[in-house]
């Protein structure tokens, strides 16, 4: 089944937001480990969450050096977080993620 770039990009953003919000992967190294996506793709996907009005901010770890910390979702905007959770299997299948 052929998946459009628009759909795969949208699903990737939803999945990354869900991983961050659930604290399953709240920084770039964890995202690359969980998904297998390249580091740059993970960084670009986090930056693109704002296009969906998902508010995601980096929180520096107290006393941490060089961007030690984690991302946190402050608002899902118009996205239904419950829908994302209910469709994770489908989202991961479309994206080819484990």
pLDDT tens across 1-51, in order?
Answer: 688 999 999 999 999 999 999 999 999 999 999 999 999 999 999 999 999
Per the structure, how many domains does the chain have?
1
More confident residue, 47 or 97: 47
- Rounded CA Rg of the chain: 13
pTM of structure: 0.91
87: pLDDT strictly greater than 80 = yes
Q: Please count the other Cβ atoms lying within 10 Å of the Cβ belonging to residue 41.
A: 16
Range of the domain at 48: 5-95
Tokens of 62: 């107290």
Q: What's the pLDDT at 68? A: 78
Q: What's the pLDDT at 64? A: 59
65: pLDDT strictly greater than 70 = no
- CATH number, position 51: 1.10.10.10
């Amino acid at each position: 089944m052929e998946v459009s770039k628009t759909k795969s990009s949208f699903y990737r953003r939803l999945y990354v937001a869900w991983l961050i919000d659930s604290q399953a992967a709240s920084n770039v190294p964890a995202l690359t480990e969980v998904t297998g996506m390249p580091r740059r793709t993970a960084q670009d996907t986090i930056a693109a969450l704002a296009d969906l009005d998902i508010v995601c901010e980096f929180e520096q770890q107290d006393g941490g050096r060089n961007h030690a910390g984690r991302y946190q979702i402050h608002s899902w905007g118009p996205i239904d977080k419950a829908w994302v959770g209910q469709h994770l299997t489908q989202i991961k299948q479309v994206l080819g993620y484990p």
